[in-house]
Amino acid sequence: MYHWIPFWPDTAAVNAVVVNNLYIAELGLSAVIMVTVLAMMLTYCVRYRSNGTASRGHRLERTWHFEIAWTVATLGVFLIVFVWGAQVYAWLYEPPPADEEVYVVGKQWMWKVEHPGGQREIDALHVPVGKTIRVVMGSEDVIHSFFIPAFRVKHDVVPGTLETVWFKADKTGVFRLECTQFCGLQHATMQGEIDVMSGADYARWLTSQGVHESLAEQGADLFRAHGCSGCHGQNSTVHAPSLTGLYGTMVHLQDGSVRLADEAYLRDCILNPRSFTVAGFPPVMPDFAGQLGEDEVIKLIAYIKSLGSKQESLR
Amino acid sequence: MSTTTFEGMPATEPRAATEPSYLTSENTIASWLFTRDHKRIALMFFASVTFFFFVGGTAATLMRLNLATPQGLLQPAVYNRMFTMHGIIMVWFFLIPSIPTTFGNFFIPMMIGARDLAFPRVNLLSWYVFNLSGLVVLFALVMGGADTGWTFYTPLSTVYADGYVFAAAIAVFINGFSSIMTALNFIVTIHRMRAPGMTWMRLPLFVWGIYTVSVVMLTATPVLAMDTFLLAFERFTGIGPFSVQHGGDPILWQHMFWFYSHPAVYIMILPAMGVVSELIPCYARRPIFGYTGMAIALMSLAILTFFVWAHHMFVAGISVYSAILFSLMTFFVAVPSAIKVFNWTVSLHKGRIIFDAPMLYALGFVLLFTLGGVTGLMLATLAVDVDLHGTYFVIAHFHYIMVGATVSAFFGALHYWWPKMTGRLYPEMWARSAAILMYVGFNMTFFPQFVLGYLGMPRRSYTYPVEWQSWNVLSSAGASILAIAYLLPLLYLGWSIFFGRKAGPNPWGATGLEWATPSPPPTHNFGDTPIVTLGPYSYDPENDTFIDQEGVSHAR
């Protein structure tokens, strides 16, 4: 829509189109403000230069009318832009029901991608066009920021939690993936490619990766290896919360708070269970902080999610 | 029309002229190092901040040199340390102290009719503390520098970065005490030492600017002390509130850091606004438009600035609701800013405008500040910030405010008050050329960065894809022009100290009390305490006259 504008960046997702409109409106508003100030300044500078002959009588001195009018006008315009921006922001950061999910781990200095089918990539992300993709992101070390300029999508990846963004590409092609939070020596090269493919190409790509185990199956192996199944397994006699159908429900905790069982919650519970004891259960689970890497946590989460959820998908 | 009286002191032939000036009253080195004269301390601060300006500028030059080609010239580690040290030095060792410690120190007492600041010894101590922190930061720089960015984001700064992060954090910690001492001094001085008749609504707007900035410094800087202390502590001991492994939260650092560092942006711009509010009436030869509104706008900026810090964190994972609140507060900041731009512009209406160098800097300030302001609005808009955050767009935006606006005002102030400080006039044509060159060079350096930012170039990158090279070359070329424009004043102002024409007490026909003293002023500024009965900008463009401080109307 805006391709005729010189130096306009790629626009390749529904997210980007919405942000484009707002950006153009603000560029227009900025231009109006700049031109007004510049025109006033130049006019006065020429007209009232020191050897100019224009009359200096009857200066504007009663100021309140002008100031209040100017203030109310600017405030009104600014508030419109504010509401518009806030609306789009809430929409950008509230993931709709997803067609596909993908897990991303940032570490110095690469993006590691894991598809639910078990396909893995580094500094590359293959996605189908026209599908809503939900990206669950974690960091192994410092704060990174996941940015796809052509989609206008960005979110910091902060260690100690999982973050979620979404996008829906509407154009096939290869686009840039960047890290926009300074993350150490090779920050500048922590970049990759987003490869947006047609559905058929994407399906072909998935099967050509030579994968034997899905992410959830790998998670199931870890679930047994780390002894989780001893308490949370189907036949366990230990009084531990059942994980079947947990994902997407609201969980009541011992301290009285209620949390949505999303990826970030599952991560917290695995690593620091004492801080998130479920109401009615003894705080007996050992914590796994420091024992599991981010990618292992993601596999366990994929497994727990595979045990079914109350909702078909998280909002 | 003549209502101001300035008892017993004809301005054309001040009685104090027979006294030696503050520069020549004593000539030993000790008389400078142990001086309690606010004017000498101001010059010492001027020397310190100018030194750091050129240190920070050298780092910037190396960065732009590196970015002229995608391959670059510097090692990645060197580039990362250069932008970190550029940020730390420019923010804490130039921009924050620059206008308050030099022009504030020199002219606040003179503009309110006082003989010195309230606490002259604290003022001197502030200079020593500033230089102590400067030595620590130079130590960090010479040993190899830090590589975290000036924002010290955790856990990069606490665990992962090598380099002298601890020393850099301690330097910032010590530097804060200098800020606090200077701010406290100004607040007490402005409250307690105004000349008879100098009511709050007769204060020159520069005094208002320094007053508001002092309030912000005094209230915000202790938070910076806590931040940097905790950071240094965590880096040193491994225990701390910002570490996930120990139950802390890296986002807490960002909250604490920006709770100081957003107000810090206003610490940089409020004094600059004060300067421009002095320059425009003087060179437009008319009273400022909407004095009361200007003073109220300064105060409301100083208050609002404490409630917008999380707009630096819209993509960091704060809740959508707090993001919306902080965005709204940020839009409110735009209102007093818009009032100020409007009033400066209308202050030209029916003036009798003289385009001397300080006025060129002031007009440049207004335009650059406006462009920095409207791009600030774009960044305050949540959805657009998601796209632009962390890119060169942000770099361009805050350089328009902090360099385009503040440094223009610094140079404007330097030229405007140079005859008063040194007793010499500078060559006007050279000064005008430098001002115009600075404006051209600045826009050429930083405007391309808006485009680069929207195309998606991340900040703090030592390399970039080859298709962005033309914009980067343009920016680097602009930076070389800018460097010349910054060096030029050093040459001709230095020349003027020895060879410049002698300045009279009031070469610009300005109305402030500082112009009622000889140039350069005697140690005690005023022979008798002046009595004020008139507001600050009693210029009359209709007859091209101004009313001086004895109440006599003068042709310019």
Q: Look up tokens 């208002």; give the residue.
A: B208
Q: Which of A176, A207, A238 is the last residue of a domain?
A: A207
Does A35 map to a domain?
A: no
Interface of A with B in 208-237 (CB under 8 A): none
Chain B contact for A259 (CB, 8 A cutoff): no
Residue of B nearest to A163 (CA): B317
The DSSP bridge partners found for residue A174 are A195
Does A104 map to a domain?
A: yes
Residues of chain B found within 8 Å of residue A92, distances taken between Cβ atoms: 383, 386
Chain B contact for A2 (CB, 8 A cutoff): no
Q: Rounded to an integer, what distance in angstroms lies between the CA atom of residue B190 and that of residue B208?
A: 9
Does A6 map to a domain?
A: no
The DSSP bridge partners found for residue A126 are A195
**A180 shares a domain with A114:** yes
Interface of B with A in 221-250 (CB under 8 A): 244-245, 249-250
ipTM for the predicted complex comes to 0.91
Q: Where are the domains of chain B?
A: 35-555
Q: Rounded to an integer, what distance in angstroms lies between the CA atom of residue B314 and that of residue B385?
A: 7
Residues of chain A found within 8 Å of residue B352, distances taken between Cβ atoms: 48-50, 52, 56
Q: Note the pLDDT of residue B200.
A: 95
Q: Note the pLDDT of residue A60.
A: 66
Q: Note the pLDDT of residue B486.
A: 96
Chain A contact for B390 (CB, 8 A cutoff): yes
Residues of chain B found within 8 Å of residue A45, distances taken between Cβ atoms: 348, 353, 355, 363
Does A86 map to a domain?
A: no
Residues of chain A found within 8 Å of residue B353, distances taken between Cβ atoms: 44-45, 48-50
Q: Nearest CB to B327: which of A85, A156, A159?
A: A85
**A278 shares a domain with A186:** no
CA dist B74 to B62, B63, B146, B464, B469, Å? 8, 8, 16, 14, 17
Closest CA of chain A from B81, distance in Å: 10
Q: Nearest CB to B349: which of A59, A70, A86?
A: A59
Q: Are B522 and B20 in contact (CB under 8 A)?
A: yes
Q: Note the pLDDT of residue B12.
A: 46
Per DSSP, helices labelled H in chain A are 14-47, 64-92, 199-207, 215-225, 228-232, 263-271, 294-306
CB-based contact A154 B390, cutoff 8 Å: yes
CB-based contact B351 A79, cutoff 8 Å: no
Q: Which of A177, A207, A237 is the last residue of a domain?
A: A207
CATH number of the domain that residue A191 is part of? 2.60.40.420
Chain B contact for A68 (CB, 8 A cutoff): no
Closest CA of chain B from A275, distance in Å: 10
Closest CA of chain A from B71, distance in Å: 12
Residues of chain B found within 8 Å of residue A164, distances taken between Cβ atoms: none
Q: Nearest CB to B156: which of A93, A156, A183?
A: A183
Spans of chain B, pLDDT less than 70: 1-18
Residue of B nearest to A155 (CA): B315
**How many CA atoms, within 13 angstroms, populate the side-chain half-sphere of residue B107?**
33
Q: Note the pLDDT of residue A212.
A: 82
Nearest CA-CA partner of B274 in B304, B302, B236, B255: B302
Closest CA of chain A from B371, distance in Å: 7
In what order do the strands lie in the sheet containing A173-179?
Answer: A124-128, A192-197, A173-179, A144-148, A153-157
Count the neighbouring beta carbons within 10 Å of the beta carbon of residue A293: 13
CB-based contact B381 A81, cutoff 8 Å: yes
Closest CA of chain B from A33, distance in Å: 8
Spans of chain A, pLDDT less than 70: 1, 60-63, 309-315
Q: Note the pLDDT of residue A309.
A: 59
The DSSP bridge partners found for residue A253 are A278
Q: Which two tokens stand for residue A262?
A: 């999303």
Q: Note the pLDDT of residue B27.
A: 86
CB-based contact B378 A163, cutoff 8 Å: no
Q: How many residues does chain A have?
A: 315
Helical (H) or strand (E) element with B325: helix B320-346
Q: Rounded to an integer, what distance in angstroms lies between the CA atom of residue B50 and that of residue B52?
A: 5
Q: Which structural domain range is residue A290 located in?
A: 215-309
Query: SS3 for B216?
Result: helix
Residue of A nearest to B162 (CA): A184
Q: For the residues of B147-186, what is the DSSP string, one character each?
A: -STTTT-TTIIIII--BSHHHHHHHHHHHHHHHHHHHHHH
Q: Note the pLDDT of residue B551.
A: 79
Chain B contact for A121 (CB, 8 A cutoff): no
Does A40 map to a domain?
A: no
Helical (H) or strand (E) element with B267: helix B250-284
Q: Which two tokens stand for residue B503?
A: 């300045």
CB-based contact B381 A60, cutoff 8 Å: no
Q: Rounded to an integer, what distance in angstroms lies between the CA atom of residue B528 and that of residue B522?
A: 12
Type of residue found at B380: A
CATH architecture of B35-555: Up-down Bundle (1.20)
Nearest CA-CA partner of B355 in B408, B279, B277: B279
Q: For the residues of A90-156, what is the DSSP string, one character each?
A: HHHTSPPPPSEEEEEEEETTEEEEE-TTS-EEESEEEEETTSEEEEEEEESSS-EEEEEGGGTEEEE
CB-based contact B375 A30, cutoff 8 Å: yes
Q: Rounded to an integer, what distance in angstroms lies between the CA atom of residue A140 and that of residue A180?
A: 16
Q: Rounded to an integer, what distance in angstroms lies between the CA atom of residue B507 and that of residue B11?
A: 12
Q: Nearest CB to B76: which of A108, A143, A185?
A: A185
Question: Residue B546's Cα: distance from chain center in Å?
Answer: 29
Q: Note the pLDDT of residue B167.
A: 93
Does A143 map to a domain?
A: yes
Query: SS3 for B539?
Result: strand
Q: Note the pLDDT of residue B251.
A: 94
Q: How many residues does chain B have?
A: 556
Size of the A and B interface in Cβ pairs below 8 Å: 255
Q: Rounded to an integer, what distance in angstroms lies between the CA atom of residue B146 and that of residue A281?
A: 48
Chain A contact for B377 (CB, 8 A cutoff): yes
The total number of structural domains in chain A stands at 2
Q: Note the pLDDT of residue B63.
A: 96
Residue of A nearest to B461 (CA): A188
Q: Which of A207, A242, A262 is the last residue of a domain?
A: A207
CATH number of the domain that residue A236 is part of? 1.10.760.10
**A197 shares a domain with A112:** yes
Count the neighbouring beta carbons within 10 Å of the beta carbon of residue A185: 18
CB-based contact B455 A22, cutoff 8 Å: no
Q: Note the pLDDT of residue A240.
A: 85
